[in-house]
Amino acid sequence: MRGSIFIKIFLGFWLVSIAVLGSWLLADSYIETLPAPEQQHRPPQDPPQRFVLRLIYAMQNTPAEQLPAIIEKAKSKHDINVWLLDRQGRDLLEQRVPAKVATVANQLRGRKRRAFARHREGPLIAHSVNLFDGSPRRMVMMFPKPNHQIIGLLIANNWLRLLLAILVSGLICYALSRMTTNRLRDLRHASRKLADGDLHTRIHVRDHGGDETDELARDFNTMARQLETRMREQKQLLSDVSHELRSPLARMRVALALAMEDEHLRLDLLGRMDNETVRLEDLIAQLLSTQENSLPLDKHVDLIALLYQLCDDACFEGNQTAKKVTLSTGLAEAIVASSGDLLHKSFENIIRNALQHTPEESEVRVQVIDTAGSYQVSIEDCGPGVKEQDLQRIFDEFYRVDSARSRDAGGYGLGLSIAHRAIVQHGGALTAENTRKGLKVIARIPK
């Protein structure tokens, strides 16, 4: 709790509130004491000093004919009774003088100019005044009794008012601090659950709006979703890699066992084992190529010449099933930066993938056009296409549109993933879309 942000915010709010309230109370008390040096003798029941001073000032500076209006206003507006008594105890306005009023007025003798009295009907204050015409009078004011004792105590006692203000401000500051730190507390609990492996952890927060803590919660949820997706993909990748490695290893173990039992088949089985070893090396090389993050673009390649060569190779491969691969472009050359044979492998994978999925006696069309700042290469087959929700997933490792196809027929599922990563490393983009004929893969490579 020593470093709790809640405690810091709460104490900060509360101390500021106390400082403001204390400053106000001290200033208020100081101002009230300025006109009346005898303030220290005031009892707890003393009403607001400034109102008394204003009323005394009005009595001393108003002609006698206007005094009834002032006294009536004090009675009607504030329920305060006022008497102006002479030396014989008679009221200037000829009001009846109760005994309690006469008693407090008789306390004003000698140099004593102020007196107080407590009564069940309300507090009384007596003050010596000189009227407008200079005649001395004893002014007695009887204030109404507070409706509630607690309210009366609050009115009379500054320190009690300060204590109540501190308690109320403490409750308000506690609520504000808790509202401010609730989201941070939720974020702390969620992050701990996420660290413990619960990848489904989310913070309940509105989709839009709110303050900075709501934005932080939404960012946490986004991070958690991405982390869950990445972990799921990694597990799937590990599962697929394990399956791909297990198959050739199993065949090699079978071949080795047969070779040990039958000497006549040993050479054929060794050849079989060599083929499986080559397949393993090829698979590992492809896996490593999908994990490379950056490569130096240290050579230049002519896309037109490269694609002509790849289309010729694909046509030769597709002759047995009457499949054709054609290239159409109006460009004589298209020079781009590359690294080794990275682009060669990328476009070979894309074209062979299209050739594999296009039906017999059909055509794969390759087109190259010059766009603003880049070259666009599109490869379109005449196959069945891909579901819309799978268009981006076809570039994931080991992803196969038809999960029922055998792995021997379908390859490793790494070709488009390698191509996607390679073209992104060139600063370009690789996308796919369905057309009326089939699937079109579009590559954009910067010049």
**What does the pLDDT read at residue 44?**
38
**What does the pLDDT read at residue 402?**
55
Stretch 316-323: mean pLDDT, rounded? 86
pLDDT of 154 > 70? The answer is: no
Cα Rg, the chain, nearest whole Å: 48
Amino acid occupying residue 355: L
Phi and psi at 370, nearest 5°, equal: -100, 115
Structural tokens at position 369: 């056009």
Alpha carbons 216 and 185: distance in angstroms, whole number: 12
Look at 20-29, 31-40, 78-87, 342-351 and tell me which has the smallest mean pLDDT: 31-40
**What does the pLDDT read at residue 378?**
95
Top-confidence residue, 85 or 214: 85
**What does the pLDDT read at residue 338?**
85
Q: What percent of the chain has pLDDT over 90?
A: 16
pLDDT band at 445 (very low <50, low <70, confident <90, very high): very high
pLDDT band at 409 (very low <50, low <70, confident <90, very high): very low
Alpha carbons 321 and 124: distance in angstroms, whole number: 118
pLDDT of 325 > 60? The answer is: yes
**Secondary structure in 3-state letters for the chain:** CCCCHHHHHHHHHHHHHHHHHHHHHHHHHHHHHCCCHHHHHCCCCCCCHHHHHHHHHHHHCCCHHHHHHHHHHHHHHHCCEEEEECCCCCECCCCCCCHHHHHHHCCCCCCCCEEEECCCCCCEEEEEEECCCCCEEEEEEECCCCCCHHHHHHHHCHHHHHHHHHHHHHHHHHHHHHHHHHHHHHHHHHHHHHHCCCCCCCCCCCCCCCCHHHHHHHHHHHHHHHHHHHHHHHHHHHHHHHHHHHHHHHHHHHHHHHHHHCCCCHHHHHHHHHHHHHHHHHHHHHHHHHHCCCCCCCEEEEHHHHHHHHHHHHHHHHHHHCCEEEEEECCCCCEEEECCCHHHHHHHHHHHHHHHHCCCCCEEEEEEEEECCEEEEEEECCCCCCCHHHCCHHHCCCCCCCCCCCHHHHCCCCHHHHHHHHHHHCCCEEEEEECCCCEEEEEEEEC
pTM: 0.46
Distances (CA, A) of 403 to 166, 286, 381: 70, 20, 20
Structure confidence by residue, pLDDT tens digits, 345-388: 889 889 988 998 899 989 999 999 999 889 999 999 998 888 88
pLDDT band at 270 (very low <50, low <70, confident <90, very high): confident
Residue 420 exposed, middle or buried by CB count within 10 Å (0-12, 13-18, 19+):
buried
pLDDT band at 153 (very low <50, low <70, confident <90, very high): low
